[in-house]
């Protein structure tokens, strides 16, 4: 659940967006809509769709003063755990980038909610505060992030998340990237997660093939197959000029 800017736009598309941002020097900024078709919505190693495909959408607002905001929507499927009502997730986020030469610091807040959830009891909804640092040298980018959730979904208490990531842009159309992280939760099993893959871009379409894994056992995963490792193919269609 929840998404970072890297996930919202994809590493390859984000780097391209930043390279072209000088063309959008308007006081109000610019809007960047995208549509995603994915074989499995994964977050921190877990499937949120029961390993089934879904459609996602993103609307990202960039401003010349380095403020940004956006909304991201994805289908979800929690029927394996008995929830047959919740079918989609909405993330609303905003933040600011601070540039120090080749290093960027990002501070962001995001609220995730599930509008059609009808399960009684504590809510799925949660807020995430995040700080991220990224450094770029030529075609190589490395970074790390620290996230805090004051109250995790369904009354799970506070959660902390730390991750490191790296990306290398081989050509104008091919980028490889990897991510590894760890989550600590007050009332749920802690977990390590990682993914690695490649993103190929052709005009306004990107193809991302990624392998994801986590160290949770099937018992820690609620005796469902959401934690099984696997490949995910995501097609991203950018709808801006």
Token duo for residue 72: 């991201």
DSSP annotation of 10:
-
Distances (CA, A) of 47 to 24, 25, 37, 89: 36, 39, 15, 13
Q: What does the pLDDT look like over 50-92, one tens digit per residue?
A: 999 999 999 999 999 999 999 999 999 999 888 899 999 999 9
What is the domain-level CATH number for residue 104? 2.40.160.40
DSSP annotation of 26:
-
pLDDT the model gives residue 17: 56
Which residues, at least 6 apart from 233, have a Cβ–Cβ distance to it below 8 Å?
Answer: 38, 39, 207, 208, 209
Cβ(73)–Cβ(106) below 8 Å:
no
Give the total number of structural domains in the chain.
1
Cβ(189)–Cβ(218) below 8 Å:
no
**Predicted confidence band of residue 14 (pLDDT cuts 50, 70, 90):** low
Whose structure tokens read 């790296």? 166
Q: What does the pLDDT look like over 89-127, one tens digit per residue?
A: 999 999 999 999 999 999 999 999 999 998 877 788 999
Q: Which domain holds residue 143?
A: 5-238
DSSP annotation of 122:
S
Q: Give the C-alpha separation, 189 to 155, whole Å.
A: 14
What H or E segment, with its residue span, contains residue 6?
helix 5-9
């Amino acid at each position: 659940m929840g998404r970072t800017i890297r996930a919202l736009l994809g590493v390859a598309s984000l780097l391209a967006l930043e390279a072209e941002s000088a063309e959008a020097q308007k006081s109000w900024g610019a809007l960047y809509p995208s549509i995603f078709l994915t074989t499995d919505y994964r977050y921190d190693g877990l499937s949120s769709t029961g390993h089934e495909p879904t459609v996602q959408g993103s609307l990202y607002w960039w401003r010349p003063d380095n403020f940004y905001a956006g909304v991201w929507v994805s289908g979800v499927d929690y029927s394996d755990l008995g929830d047959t009502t919740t079918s989609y997730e909405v993330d609303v986020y905003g933040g600011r980038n601070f540039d120090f030469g080749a290093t960027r610091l990002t501070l962001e807040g995001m609220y995730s909610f599930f509008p059609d959830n009808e399960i009684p009891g504590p809510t799925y909804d949660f807020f995430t505060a995040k700080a991220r640092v990224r450094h770029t040298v030529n075609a190589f980018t490395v970074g790390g992030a620290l996230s805090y959730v004051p109250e995790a979904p369904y009354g799970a208490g506070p959660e902390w998340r730390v991750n490191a990531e790296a990306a290398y842009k081989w050509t104008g159309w091919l980028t490889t990237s990897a991510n590894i992280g760890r989550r600590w939760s007050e009332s749920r099993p802690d977990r390590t997660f990682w993914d690695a893959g490649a993103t190929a871009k052709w005009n306004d379409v990107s193809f991302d093939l990624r392998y994801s894994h986590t160290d949770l056992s099937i018992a820690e995963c609620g005796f469902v197959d959401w934690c099984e490792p696997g490949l995910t193919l995501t097609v991203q269609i950018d709808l801006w000029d």
